[in-house]
Structure formats: C-alpha cells, structure tokens
Amino acid sequence: MSVKVEDKLFLDRFNVDEESHLHLLEPDVCFKRCDDQPCLYICPANVYKLDKDRISINYEGCLECGSCRVGCPNFNIEWRFPRGGYGIRHKFG
C-alpha cells in the first residue's frame, strides 16, 4: 500500500527550531556497521532518509517518540527533546 507520511505530517502543527535536535554521532557507522538500518523503517514520521552516501535527517517532522534512539542497533543517534516550546504541538492529542 502506498501512503505518503508527508500527507499525514501536513496535518500536524510544528514550531520548528532552526537547529536539529537529532544528530548522528558517527555518520560512517550507518554504512560500515549497520546492515539493517532500522531507522529508515521504524520512524513513524520517516525522518531518516537514505541519500546516496549518507542518511539525511528531516527533524522538522519528528513526532518525538524516541523510537530511533533506542531502535538504532549502534546507539548512533544523539537524541534530545526540542528546546522548550518547539517541536510538535498537539491540537487534539
């Protein structure tokens, strides 16, 4: 089934910070020591995308669940909450 998560994220309200709250600790690790790259699948907002030779992070749509942090087999994701007041803002919740 083809479904675009962008259409879903479009429904949400975000107060986007200028800086990302998500970082890869060692970008090399994702290619040298990670065959499965689960971040590309488990993230409910599809924040992690595979570019040619790197994984890009579209932190703007992060739903702040934490799955990438604990799902990364190499613990290669530095994860903090967006600064106070930034990030997703639930309308209904």
Partner 1 sequence: MDETFDVAIVGAGPAGISAACVLADRGVKTIVLERGEYPGSKNMFGGVLYGHALEQIIPDYVQRNCPIERNIVESRLSYLSQDAGLSFTYRDRAFFEQRRNNAFTVGRARFDRWFADQAASKGALIVCATVVTDLLKNEGGKVIGVRTDRADGDLIAKVVLLADGVNSPLALKTGFRPETKPENVALAVKEVLAIPEEIINERFGVSPGDGVTNEILGDVTLGMNGVAFLYTNRNSLSIGIGANLADFARRKIRPYEMLESLKAHPMIAPLIKDGKPKEYMAHWLPEGGYNTVPQLCGNGYLIAGDSAMLFNALHREGSNLAMASGKLAGETIIEALGKNDFSSQGLQGYVRRLNESYVLRDLKKYRRFPSFLETHKELFAGLPLAVNMAAREMLTVDGVPKRMRQRAIWKAIRSKIPPLRLLQLAWDAWRSVR
Residue 90 binds partner 1 (CB under 8 A)? yes
Residue 89 binds partner 1 (CB under 8 A)? yes
> Quick count: other Cβ atoms within 10 Å of Cβ 33?
11
Based on CB atoms, which residue is closest to partner 1, 45 or 57?
A: 45
Cβ 52 to partner 1 shortest distance, Å: 21
Site string for partner 1, 6-35 (x = CB under 8 A): --xx-xx--x--------------------
3-state secondary structure of 79: strand
Which H helix or E strand runs over 8?
Answer: helix 5-9
In 53-93, which ranges are continuous DSSP H helix? 67-71
- Report the amino acid identity of residue 93: G
Contact 30, 76 (CB under 8 A): yes
Residues that bind partner 1 (CB under 8 A): 1, 3, 5, 8-9, 11-12, 15, 36, 38, 41-42, 44-46, 63-67, 69-71, 73, 79-85, 87-93
